[in-house]
Structure 1
Amino acid sequence: MDDATLAFYQQLYTGTPLYVVNEPHAAPVSPAPQAAVTQVAAPAPPPAPPVAPVPPVVAALADEPAGSPAPSRLPSLADLKAARLAAQAQAAPAPTAAAQPVTPVAAAAAPAPAPPATRAPVPFDTLGSNPRGIVLLVRVEPENLIKLQRNVFLNNMLKAIGQVMEECVVVNVRSPYPVAVEELRARGLAATQVIGFGKNLLDVATKRTQPYEPVRLGDVAYLPAAEVEIIEYDNGRKKQLWQALQRMFLG
Structure 2
Amino acid sequence: MNSAADLAFYQNFYNGASLYLVPDASQVASPAVPAVAREEQANTAPITASAVVAAPEPAATAPPVVVPAPVPPLAPVAAAAPPAGKLPSLANLGLAATSTPVPPAVAPQAPPVQALLAAPAATVRELVTPSLAQLPAAAAAPAGRVQPTPTQSPVAHIPFSTLGSNPNGLIILVRLPEDAFRKLPRNVFLNNILKAIRLIVEDVVLVNVEHPTYPVALCSLRQHLAAKQFLAFGKNLLDVAVYTTQPYEPVLLFGDTAFLGASEVSMLEYDAGRKKQLWQAMQRMFL
| TM-score for both structures, normalised by structure 1 | 0.51
SS of 1:137 mapped into structure 2: strand
- Which residue matches 1:237? 274
Change (3 A) 1:119 1:232: closer
Determine the C-alpha separation between the residues in 1 that align with 2:273 and 2:203.
27
SS at match of 2:252: strand
Q: Is the 8 A contact 2:156 2:217 kept in 1?
A: no
Are the counterparts in 1 of residues 164 and 205 from structure 2 also a CA contact under 8 Å?
yes
SS at match of 2:162: strand
SS at match of 2:219: helix
Give runs of ≥4 in structure 1 deviating > 4 Å.
Answer: 117-120
- String of CA shifts for 1:58-97, please: whole Å, max 9, x gaps: xxxxxxxxxxxxxxxxxxxxxxxxxxxxxxxxxxxxxxxx
Partner of 1:130: 166
Q: Helix, strand or coil: the match of 2:277?
A: helix
- Provide the secondary structure at the position in 2 that maps to 1:171: strand
Instruction: Give the drift of 1:133.
Output: 2.7
- Structure 2: which amino acid aligns with 1:185? R
Q: CA deviation at 1:157?
A: 0.4
- Match for 1:227 among 250, 254, 264? 264
Aligned to 1:210: 246
CA contact (8 A) 1:196 1:225 kept: yes
Residues 1:183 and 2:220 are matched in the alignment: yes
Amino acid in structure 2 at the alignment position of 1:207: Y
1:216 and 1:203 map into 2 onto residues whose CA distance is: 14
1 or 2 for the larger relative contact order (CA 8 Å, sep ≥6)? 2
Q: Assess, with a 3 A threshold, how the Cα gap between structure 1 residues 184 and 119 changes in structure 2: closer, same or farther.
A: closer
Mind listing any 5+ residue stretches in structure 1 that lack a counterpart?
Answer: 1-116
Contact 2:158 2:214 in 1 (8 A): yes
Query: Mind listing any 5+ residue stretches in structure 2 that lack a counterpart?
Result: 1-152
The yes-or-no answer on 1:159 pairing with 2:195 is yes
8 Å Cα contact 2:156/2:220 also seen in 1: no
Q: Is residue 168–residue 225 contact of structure 2 (8 Å, CA) maintained in 1? A: no
Match of 1:121 among 157, 169, 173: 157
Equivalent-residue separation in structure 2 for 1:141 and 1:192 (angstroms): 25
Cα drift, residue 119 of structure 1:
4.5
2:247 aligned counterpart, secondary structure: coil
**Structure 1 residue 131: Cα displacement:** 4.5
SS in 1 for 2:172: strand
Aligned to 1:145: 181
Contact preservation (8 Å) 2:250, 2:261? yes
Q: How does 1:42-191 map to 2 (within 5 A)?
A: 119=155, 121-175=157-211, 176-186=213-223, 188-191=224-227
Shift of 1:185: 1.3
The separation in 1 between residues aligned to 2:244 and 2:203, in whole angstroms, is: 28
Contact 1:211–1:225, Cα closer than 8 Å, also in 2: yes
Aligned residues of 2:248 and 2:261 also touching (Cα < 8 A): yes
Q: 1:208 to 1:161 in 2, by over 3 A?
A: same
Does structure 2 retain, via aligned residues, the 8 Å contact 1:198–1:227?
Answer: yes
Cα distance in 2, alignment partners of residues 132 and 164 from structure 1: 14
Instruction: Report how many residues are paired.
Output: 133
Aligned 8 A contact 1:131 1:167 in 2? no
CA positional deviation for 1:212: 0.3
Supply the AA of the counterpart residue of 1:184.
L
Q: In 2, are the aligned partners of 1:211 and 1:226 still within 8 Å (CA)?
A: yes
CA offsets 1:172-206 (integer angstroms, 9 cap, x no match): 000121111110111x2113100000000000100
Aligned-residue offset at 1:120: 5.4
The percentage of counterpart residues that share the same residue type is 61
The answer to whether structure 1 residue 248 and structure 2 residue 248 are counterparts is no
Normalising by the residue count of structure 2, what TM-score does the alignment of the two structures yield?
0.45
1 CA distance for matches of 2:187 and 2:282? 18
Q: Which amino acid aligns with 1:234?
A: D
